[in-house]
Amino acid sequence: MQNSASLVVVLGTGGTIAGTAASSSDDRGYTAAQLSIAQLLATVPDGVGVPVEAEQVAQVDSKDMSHAIWQALALRVAHHLARTEVAGIVISHGTDTLEETAYFLQRVLAPVKPVVLTGAMRPATSAQADGPRNLRDAMLVARHASSVGLTGVLAVLNGVVHGAQQVRKAHPTRLDAFDSGEAGPLAAVDNGVLRYLAAPAPGPLPPVTAALHCAVADWPRVDIVVSHAGASGAVVRALCADGVVGLVVAATGNGTLHHEIEAALLTAQAQGVAVRCSSRRGDGRVAQPAAKGLLEASDLSPVKARIELMLGLMPPGAP
């Protein structure tokens, strides 16, 4: 599909990519979310030869990402996607929760144009900053992905293009910190050229647009608990007493649960709390139901299963 729209809108949200340190040799002792998206764009090598528009939506270290920012971001993305002159969107984001924001936007918007998240493992002041190159690659993908059949929410880091469902941060410090697990990446950006690697993905799930309109304070509270050696049901009981309406459990092995946490989850479910069973392993889909009577969270990681369950429990609200 040839895309005649050419404008790329770049939305800034903070992160290490916008971080600064006192010295250009310091890649660790920096403060995230200091530079504006306009300042970051000024560092991109050679531009991308397409018109670019920038907007600051938030300025946070993404470890502190909130539902309120998610909603504001989704509304700005939806606004820009509706403009005929826009080919795609880039979102500059911290790497810590990038995979969660990607999955949220995919499930709320199911965009038909590319929405490309990127970030950096080194601050903007680093002598070897990776942000400028990542931003450039992301802009290129936002401009050209539709023409090779790539749409929806993507993540581009270190020259690799990942889908929103699979992308995950797999290493705390390396430049190639992201992967797509067993599924593998969708494409690569090599010296300014987008190369498509994967077979076309099946069509996206219909979007859950309620999250665009429902007041954030009314979003259903869903938390994550982990099954581990020596686990008890205490955390589950405390969360239920505190008003949680949904729980995702990160299970061991092939969807197994410590018997104490399993008993507490079954009790919570009987009391009306929605429970989904995900896996604390990185790869492989659970091949058997986790526990008698608990639903499986398909192949989603615990943090993405939390988003899916929260959206599933969201009151429909007015469009």
User: Which residue's Cβ lies closest to ligand ASP?
Assistant: 94
Q: What is the smallest separation between the CB atom of 273 and ligand ASP, expressed in angstroms? A: 30
Contact positions toward ligand ASP, by CB under 6 A?
15-16, 32, 61-63, 94-96, 119, 121
- Collapse the DSSP code of 101 into the 3-class scheme (helix H, G, I; strand E, B; otherwise coil) and give the result: helix
**Cα distance between residue 144 and residue 230, in whole Å:** 51
Write down the residue that tokens 């889908």 correspond to: 163
Identify which of residues 32 and 275 has a Cβ nearer to ligand ASP in the complex.
32
CB distance 45 to 140 below 8 Å: no
**Cα distance between residue 160 and residue 273, in whole Å:** 39
Identify which of residues 99 and 308 has a Cβ nearer to ligand ASP in the complex.
99
- Residues facing residue 249 across a β-bridge: 225, 277
Identify which of residues 13 and 227 has a Cβ nearer to ligand ASP in the complex.
13
Q: What is the smallest separation between the CB atom of 312 and ligand ASP, expressed in angstroms? A: 26
Q: Which two tokens stand for residue 305?
A: 């299963």
16 is annotated as an active-site residue:
yes
Q: What is the smallest separation between the CB atom of 162 and ligand ASP, expressed in angstroms? A: 15
Q: What is the smallest separation between the CB atom of 32 and ligand ASP, expressed in angstroms? A: 4
Among 13, 16, 95, 151, the one annotated catalytic: 16
Identify which of residues 168 and 276 has a Cβ nearer to ligand ASP in the complex.
168
User: How far is residue 117 from each of residues 12, 120, 302, measured CA to CA in Å?
Assistant: 10, 11, 20
Which amino acid is residue 151, in one-letter code?
Answer: T
Write down the residue that tokens 């949680």 correspond to: 244
Three-state SS for 233-255 is: CHHHHHHHHCCCCEEEEEEECCC
Identify which of residues 88 and 119 has a Cβ nearer to ligand ASP in the complex.
119
Q: What is the smallest separation between the CB atom of 23 and ligand ASP, expressed in angstroms? A: 18
Q: Using the 8-state DSSP alphabet, how is residue 256 labeled?
A: B
Catalytic residues: 16
